[in-house]
Every structure is written in structure tokens, then in C-alpha cells.
Structure 1
């Protein structure tokens, strides 16, 4: 009796550990999106729905519009103009990402429920070692995003306070600009009429800036989480196909197994199609912004180092922002590359079976599997290009080309 209780306790503990691994794969993403109020939830409260909308409005009214209008007033300060325009891109993209989450919220809730069911089914079938590997990759990327967001926000707050790159120290700033907020902004009224009003404005702009930075990275982590779940399920399917020959030796009904593989493969293809539909438009915008951001930050950093005009905090801020933008785009490209390879490997696994010993109807099912892998699963930037290493290095190459042109024009 005691032995049975001990075994049962061990099984329960092992099951809890496996569930914890699943929760850990999206924990940090959920924390970040939860702060914005954008985590897809079936029972989202009215407060949460209002929270995410209010956050989007704050980003637009406290950061994006005041900074966009301010560009006109320091247009002669080229470094400040480039810095302000490039960093302002992040906030408008964050608003677009909030819009995507809200628009596809029901879809994401259904996908998350499906992911949870897939995890439990894979664990029960003995494929925990496979899905855990890709859950850990998702967790590590999510945690990296969490660290980058909060360390970046801390450094940015200090850098903007004491060494704001938007302020031209050689010339007196336009008096219509408010230069002592988090960002140099145009506010159509005097925020210094009282200390309380100024503090409220500063806190609101700082809060909106932090929310924008969080949303920018957390959305990408959420996308990566969904892609790595799909990759894990494709790897499980690949393992099932590899095991078909072994199952045949013990006279298992192979056609039943092949029918399951074909059906499951179709389900995963539909999952990838939904992912593509939800993310392709915003990924195109992020592709363009990543290229522009890397070019702009490189221009500021190299130009500042040559002339010796940048302080240490400004250099750190420029490097961190450039790396933050580029690293998240790399996470997406890496996930897309692994997804494409995982889908191709399904076809290779099917071909490597002893299909020549199968019956005629079993061979047809093998053909269906291979046929479905002729066009690999891809997540694209609105059909322009698929997320891959090639796209990432193309962005780098293009950015360096733009950067060399800008520097040549500047020092001509």
C-alpha cells in the first residue's frame, strides 16, 4: 500500500514538473504582456481591455505625437533628428502590435488552448524530451527579452535625463520645445506652470515609453513562443515517422499510424497558416524598421565617435537600442529558419522509411506526406520574404550599404 502511494506521488510530482516546463516556456512573455494588458485570455476582464487601450492612447499622445511634432523644431540638428525619428519608430510599431493582439485575440486564445492540449498529448505519448527542448529555447528567448527590456529602460532613463542626444549643445534649443521631459517634445502649453503638472507629464511620458519598449519585445517573444510550439510538434511527428519501421516489426497496423501522421500534418499546416495570417503584415513593418533603426544607430555611433561628440551614456544608449531592435528581429528570423527546416525534415523522414516494402495504399499515404512538404512551412513578411537567416543577413547588408552612403554624404 505504501509502495503504491509512493509511486503515485512520484507520478504526480513528475506531471507537475512537466506542466511547469510548459508554463515556463511563456512565463516571461506573459508577465510583460500582462503589464501592458495584452496577454490573450479567454476571460479578459473589462479592466484589462481598458488597460491595453489606455496604454496605446498614452503611447500615441504622450510620446509619439509630441516627439513627431518636435522633429520640425530641431530639424537643423541632424543627429537629434535621426535619433528622435528612429527611436520614435518603436512606439508606433508597438501600437500596431497592440492592434494585432486585440484584433486576433480570439484566435490567439484558441491557439493557446490548442497548444496546451498538444503539450499534454505529447507528454502522454512519451515525447516529452522533444517538446521540452524547444520549450526551453522559447523560455530562454523570452527571458532574454525580459532582461533587455528592463535593463534598456533603466539605462535609457539615465541617458535621457543627463545626456539627451536630441539636444544640440552648440545651439540654443527652440523655446517652444520642452527639453526636460523624458524625450524632447512639443507640448502646446507650458508644463512648468507648477511642479505637480510637470511631474505628472514626466511620469506619464516615462510610463508610456516603458510600456512601448515592453510591448515591442514581448510581442516578438509571443510570436517566437507560437513558432517553437509548432516546431516541437513537427519534431514529434518526425519521430513518429521514424518509428514506423520499428512498429511494423511488431505487426502494428501501419496504415492507422500513417493516417494519423497525414491528419496531424494537415493540422500543423493549418496552424502555420493562421500564424502567417496573424503576423505577416506587422512583420513587414518590423523588417523595414529594423533596417532603418540599425542604419540610424550606426550613423549616430560612428559619427559621434569620429567627432568625439558622444558621451559614454549616449554611446551605451545607442548601442543598446540598436541591439534591442536587431536582436528581436534575429529571434524571429532564427525561429522562422528552424521552422522551415523542421517542416522539410518531415518529408525526409517519410522518404527514409521502408516505403518500398509497404502496401499500395500505405505508399499513397507516404506520397501525401512528402507532397505536403514540397512547399515548406514559412512565416513571411507579408509575402515579401520568409523569416530566415538569409533575410537577417540581407537586412544587415542593406543597412551597412545605407550607412556607408550616409557617412559618405556627411563627410564629403
Structure 2
């Protein structure tokens, strides 16, 4: 019975993320063989196509202002996808160590309270990741349909016109014309581009979901450790051994968190930079669309802004949560009967307090802390910039 429940807990916590990460070859518990490398190459190519086609279109210089913004947005999204695919393969050991540790944690559940804490954090991971991915998939499909339904002069009506520039899901009309793509393959190419966008979504948002899920699991383990410190029984035998076991557990969780923080640091730096720029660009595009009553452009701008704001919100929320859980270890010890500890054992508390003074946190480039304060600073700067642009438009 316990074994079946353990399997159900593992399936609940990890199956959705396996379905996302396995097709692109970054699932931490897979066999890293030739086939997983092939899937990773496929995911990287999907994200790379989102960079290559808009970049060529941008360099050809035939696009208008709206298409230029779309090209920049696709290039940024594809760049993030390629970067995360490469980074999550290079630092696969960090994710593998953490996910293997999570498997052991589910195997070693001691009571229903710990199980409830772990399941709660698994639930939060699902509730954060699933809407974010579903909205991104919906946006990809909408971008794929816009060439057909967004403009009455678009590709469907112009397929028989040899001089017409066909509209694709990705900005690539002039590129496809330059390489003499047959008009009969228009729908097939649109389908391929939508598939590339979905692969890029898995490479970008899917890798975020994979990382945020295991970070939440670490937060749950720290919460369980805090409960053990608070309820530490000084009257039971082998006090020193039991307390040292808690200290070792704290060191182990700190080591796992540091592996995650070191792995994601550079990615977060690039992601914060790109999101900050795109929020301003897409916000400006939305204001232009609002002024000209362009419903299609407004819809695209809102979808992109919502996706990037959701990414930024999730990282900020979980980074802030991880920081607070790591810092609260000292308060949990303070709530225990530490004043009754043996003198030799009490000396160990000093080292724990020193560790919690500088907890392991998520940082972008090892100098920008990812928390709610950073989130509010980015939003404040973006809205200030957009306010200036709005005044310029009205004058």
C-alpha cells in the first residue's frame, strides 16, 4: 500500500514535467544517450528556426515597423529557447542530482504531515507551470492562424497571385520568396513554423517549468526541516546524533540549492535583460495599435506581454519564497528548546546562524537577486518608460 502511494506521489509530482521535457531531451531522469541528444538537437533547431527566419527577414530590410517588432520578439524568444536547451544539457548533472534527491525524498516520507507539505508544493508547481504553458501554446496557435484570418489581403487570398508576398506564422515572407518556395507548399510551411514555435515554447517555458518545479520541491524540504528543528526533542536519547543529522540535512539542501542557483544564474541574467526590453517594445506597439484601432496588433502585443510578465512573476515569486524559507531556518531553531541543549551542541547553532545570514538565493549573473523587489523595480522602470512614450505620441 505504501509503495503504491509512493508511486502515485511521484507520478503526481513529476509526470507533467516529464511529458514536457522528455520530447526535447532535457528530462533529468532519462538516459543521456544518442536518442536524447537527437531530441535535444530537434528542440534546439525548433528554437533556432525562430531566430534564423526573422533575423534574415530583418536583414533584408523589406519589413515595416510592425513586422520589425515581431521579428525582434521572435528572435528574443528563440534565443532564450536555444540558450536554455544548451545550458540545461551542459549542466544536466545539477538537475539530475536534484531530481534524484526528490525521488529519495518521496521514498523516505515519514508521516502524513511531510507528505502533505510535499504534495502541496508539487501542486503549486503544476498550477504555476500548466497555465503558463497552455497560454504559450495558445499564443503559438493564434500566431499560426493570424496569416489566414488576420488580414483580408493575406496569404489565403493571394496564393494564386504570383506577385503577392505571403504571410507566414513567423515573419519570413520575403525570405521564402528569395529562396523561391513554391506557393503550393504554403500551408505545409505554415504548419512547420507553428511546430517550430511549439518546440521553442517547450525549450523556453518548458525548461522554466522544469526548473521552478524542482526549486519548489527544495522549498518544501526546507519547510519540513524547519518543522524538525522546532519539534526537536531534547529528552530523547542520542541528542547529539539526531541534531547533527538535521545539520547535515541543512548542508545537503544548501548544496542542492547552490547547484540550481549556479546553473540558472547566467540564463536569468539574459532573460531579465530580454524581458525588460520586450516589455517596453511590446507595450509601445500596443499603444500604437490602440491609437490606430488595430485589433490584430493589440491582440498579439497583449499575448506576448502576458507571457513574459508571467515568466517574470513566477521566477520572482519562487525566488522570494526560496529566500524566505532559507532565512527562516534560524527562526525555527530559535523556536525550539535551544536553551536546554548541551553546551557542546549549542556551539553548533552559531554555524547555522552564520549560514542563514547569507542564504543561497536565485541571482541573475550572481549580482541581481531574483525576488519581488526586483520584479517591482522592473515593472516600475517599464511603466515609466511607457509613460514617456505615451506623452510623446500625444504631442
Instruction: Give the TM-score, by structure 1 length.
Output: 0.86
Structure 2 gaps of 5+ residues are 155-161
The corresponding residue for 1:88 is 75
Distance change in 2, residues 1:18/1:142 (3 Å): farther
- Aligned mates of 1:377, 1:65 — CA distance in 2: 37
Alpha-carbon offset, residue 160 of structure 1: 4.0
Q: After superposing the two structures, state which structure 1 stretch, 381-390 or 175-184, moved more.
A: 175-184
The corresponding residue for 2:280 is 295
The corresponding residue for 1:231 is 219
The corresponding residue for 2:107 is 120
User: Equivalent residue of 2:148, what SS?
Assistant: helix
- Aligned mates of 2:63, 2:52 — CA distance in 1: 19
The corresponding residue for 2:158 is none
- Aligned mates of 2:169, 2:259 — CA distance in 1: 39
The corresponding residue for 1:264 is 249
Determine which of 44, 47, 63 is the counterpart of 1:56. Answer: 44
Distance change in 2, residues 1:111/1:191 (3 Å): same
Cα-to-partner distance string for 1:291-334 (whole Å, 9 max, x where unaligned): 122212211112211221x12x4323321221111102211111
Alpha-carbon offset, residue 336 of structure 1: 0.7
The corresponding residue for 1:40 is 28
Judge conservation of contact 2:28–2:92 (CA < 8 Å) in 1.
yes
- Aligned mates of 1:382, 1:280 — CA distance in 2: 5
Cα-to-partner distance string for 1:40-61 (whole Å, 9 max, x where unaligned): 334144233112213312432x
Judge conservation of contact 1:163–1:314 (CA < 8 Å) in 2.
no
Judge conservation of contact 1:63–1:209 (CA < 8 Å) in 2.
yes
- Aligned mates of 1:398, 1:229 — CA distance in 2: 32
Cα-to-partner distance string for 1:2-50 (whole Å, 9 max, x where unaligned): xxxxxxxxxx1x5423432333223322212223233233414423311
- Aligned mates of 1:331, 1:36 — CA distance in 2: 22
The corresponding residue for 1:172 is none
Q: After superposing the two structures, state which structure 1 stretch, 125-134 or 85-94, moved more.
A: 125-134
Cα-to-partner distance string for 1:167-214 (whole Å, 9 max, x where unaligned): 9xxxxxxx999542222212441112x624x44433322211111122
Asked if 1:220 corresponds to 2:208, the answer is yes
The corresponding residue for 1:335 is 318
The corresponding residue for 1:152 is 139
- Aligned mates of 1:334, 1:381 — CA distance in 2: 14
Q: After superposing the two structures, state which structure 1 stretch, 346-355 or 34-43, moved more.
A: 34-43
**How is 1:242-257 mapped onto 2 (pairs within 5 angstroms)?**
242-244=230-232, 247-249=233-235, 251-257=236-242
Cα-to-partner distance string for 1:213-254 (whole Å, 9 max, x where unaligned): 22211111111112111101101110000111xx224x3332
The corresponding residue for 1:191 is 181
- Aligned mates of 1:221, 1:177 — CA distance in 2: 41
**How is 1:399-410 mapped onto 2 (pairs within 5 angstroms)?**
399-410=382-393
Alpha-carbon offset, residue 287 of structure 1: 0.6
- Aligned mates of 1:163, 1:260 — CA distance in 2: 62
Cα-to-partner distance string for 1:267-303 (whole Å, 9 max, x where unaligned): 1111111011111000111111111222122111122
Alpha-carbon offset, residue 143 of structure 1: 1.8
- Aligned mates of 2:226, 2:184 — CA distance in 1: 64
The corresponding residue for 1:352 is 335
- Aligned mates of 1:85, 1:75 — CA distance in 2: 15
Determine which of 344, 350, 367 is the counterpart of 1:361. Answer: 344
The corresponding residue for 2:309 is 326
Determine which of 350, 353, 362 is the counterpart of 1:370. Answer: 353
Total equivalences in the alignment: 383
- Aligned mates of 2:164, 2:18 — CA distance in 1: 37
- Aligned mates of 1:214, 1:411 — CA distance in 2: 40
Judge conservation of contact 2:46–2:197 (CA < 8 Å) in 1.
no
Alpha-carbon offset, residue 383 of structure 1: 1.5
- Aligned mates of 2:131, 2:18 — CA distance in 1: 14
Q: After superposing the two structures, state which structure 1 stretch, 176-185 or 151-160, moved more.
A: 176-185
The corresponding residue for 2:148 is 161
Judge conservation of contact 1:130–1:236 (CA < 8 Å) in 2.
yes
Instruction: Give the TM-score, by structure 2 length.
Output: 0.89
Distance change in 2, residues 1:237/1:215 (3 Å): same
Alpha-carbon offset, residue 347 of structure 1: 0.6
Determine which of 344, 360, 363 is the counterpart of 1:380. Answer: 363
Determine which of 76, 85, 101 is the counterpart of 1:98. Answer: 85
